[in-house]
Amino acid sequence: MFYPRWLSDPLRRACDAHPVVVLTGARQVGKSTLLRHAEPFASWRYRSLDDFDTLRQAEEDPRSLWGGSDQVVLDEVQRVPRLLSAVKLEVDERERRVRFVLSGSANLLLLKQVSESLAGRAVYLTLGPMTLGELHRVAPPDLLWRALSGEWPEEHVLAEPPADPVPLLLRGFMPSLLALPATEWVNWWSGYVATYLERDLRQLAQIENLLDFRRLMELLALRCGKLLNQAELARDADLSHPTAHRYLALLEATCLYERLPPYLANRSARLVKAPKALWADPGLAVFLAGYYDEESLRHARELGSFFEAMIWAHVRTITSLWTPPARLYHWRERSGDEVDLVVEHGRRLLGIEIKMAPRVSYEETQGLRRFLEAHPQASGGLLVYGGSEVRRLGERIVAVPWSMLTG
């Protein structure tokens, strides 16, 4: 079943304005499905380099892939990086009358073997795992946009409380998982990780020991939503610092993992400058951390961090639809006061604190209040939590149920 994706409209607008659009995202997030079912791309010529015959054609005669057509989708282009040079030449020779969508399971800008960035010709978009709003077939919520403008929701109680997040975290948000029974989620993730390690990685880099790489992934999963100390991670994984750094770069390049940078607008020495470690799909982090059933996950000390990663993933998707996309950070002082997410769009700032608990109090706004004191230009703060009531907890701080943010 095809679920319309929120990125479809920005993708269409980008194709109207630019000769090349590069669509990246982790394997199985639905890139190929989107490009083969959403209009107008469904009627474009589609070629996938996962097909061995097409792969050979791309290596020997790349221009034959689009001969006779001026609207082309090329999928898994990271398998033949020099294909980008042929695309650049075609765009320049045909004076931009041709339109390409280049799709792949790796961020081309982060791959060392890719020397052609298509600067001035391409725009880059990223498709993440599905959001709950896309699953429910509703439009992206405007809560964040309105809050950035200082427009706060009125106090009220939702007609339906938010869903239990534990089954969602256990399953994850890859489209293929939606049709599977709960008994098959762990098997699916097991196959996903095995395919990633044994196939995708070997296409991108020479990995000396896949067991070492798997161990680093598992340790990184346990740090999901937490500050990343790369030296400590390397030590725990029994890897050299350069090797750990290279493995993290590969996880970033394949769109599975991101570093959430700190917000350092005033460059104060009192601020913690380490990034946070976050996984594109919290379900993958839950699996790698060794939680295979609801009971064990409910008692996991990392549960709150996994929940935070789920909210971050939705915020990232929603704010990536804006023009231009917002920038996301975290904020933390050495005193311990922190804000889980900071949304920056132009000169506008919004702080977001995330709590899984069904009830919250004024005391839990300490981090947001401290952030607003340090950044009085910010519009305010949202305390996203697991309850069903919208509550004012300050002049510019509002507690909102997490379901209002996910759609």
Q: Does 389 share its domain with 264?
A: yes
What is the tens place of the pLDDT at every residue in 280-331?
A: 999 999 999 999 999 999 999 999 999 999 999 999 999 999 999 999 999 9
Q: Does 387 share its domain with 248?
A: yes
pLDDT for 24 equals: 93
Q: Does 189 share its domain with 257?
A: yes
> What CA–CA distance (Å, rounded) separates 99 from 90?
10
pLDDT digit of tens for each residue in the chain (407 aa)?
A: 789 999 999 999 999 999 999 999 999 999 999 999 998 999 999 999 989 999 999 999 999 999 889 999 999 988 888 888 899 899 888 876 889 999 988 776 555 545 556 777 888 999 999 999 999 999 999 999 999 999 999 999 999 999 999 999 999 999 999 999 999 999 999 999 999 988 888 777 778 789 999 999 999 999 999 999 999 999 999 999 999 999 999 999 899 999 999 998 765 556 888 999 999 999 999 999 999 999 999 999 999 999 999 999 999 999 999 999 999 999 999 888 999 999 999 999 999 999 999 999 999 999 999 999 999 999 999 999 999 999 999 999 999 999 999 98
Q: Is residue 3 part of a domain?
A: no
Query: Helices H, strands E: what count in the chain?
Result: 17, 14
CB-hemisphere CA count at 13 Å for 163? 12
Q: Does 301 share its domain with 386?
A: yes
pLDDT for 205 equals: 78
pLDDT for 337 equals: 92
Looking at 80, 98, 127, which one is the last position of a domain?
127
- Terminal-to-terminal C-alpha distance of the chain: 20
Q: Which structural domain range is residue 51 located in?
A: 8-127
> What CA–CA distance (Å, rounded) separates 104 from 111?
12
Phi, psi angle pair for 86, to nearest 5°? -65, -35
Q: Is residue 28 part of a domain?
A: yes
Q: Does 186 share its domain with 275?
A: yes
Q: Does 123 share its domain with 227?
A: no
User: Is the torsion defined by CA of 65, 70, 76, 80 positive or negative?
Assistant: positive
Beta strand residue intervals within 280-361, DSSP E: 327-332, 338-345, 348-354
Beta strand residue intervals within 292-394, DSSP E: 327-332, 338-345, 348-354, 380-385, 389-394
Looking at 127, 147, 162, which one is the last position of a domain?
127
Looking at 72, 105, 127, which one is the last position of a domain?
127
Q: Does 326 share its domain with 246?
A: yes
Report the CATH number at residue 81.
3.40.50.300
Instruction: Report the DSSP pairing between strands 338-345 and 327-332.
Output: antiparallel
Q: Does 157 share its domain with 278?
A: yes
Q: Which residue has the tokens 């282009």?
A: 77
pLDDT for 193 equals: 96
Q: Is residue 198 part of a domain?
A: yes
> What CA–CA distance (Å, rounded) separates 13 from 21?
10
Q: Is residue 1 part of a domain?
A: no
Q: Is residue 110 part of a domain?
A: yes
> What CA–CA distance (Å, rounded) separates 68 from 351?
51
Q: Does 292 share its domain with 394?
A: yes
Q: Does 180 share its domain with 121?
A: no
Q: Does 220 share its domain with 335?
A: yes
The count of domains in the chain is 2
pLDDT for 28 equals: 94
Q: Does 94 share its domain with 206?
A: no
User: Is the torsion defined by CA of 373, 374, 377, 382 positive or negative?
Assistant: negative
Residues 6+ positions from 42 with CB-CB distance below 8 Å: 35, 36
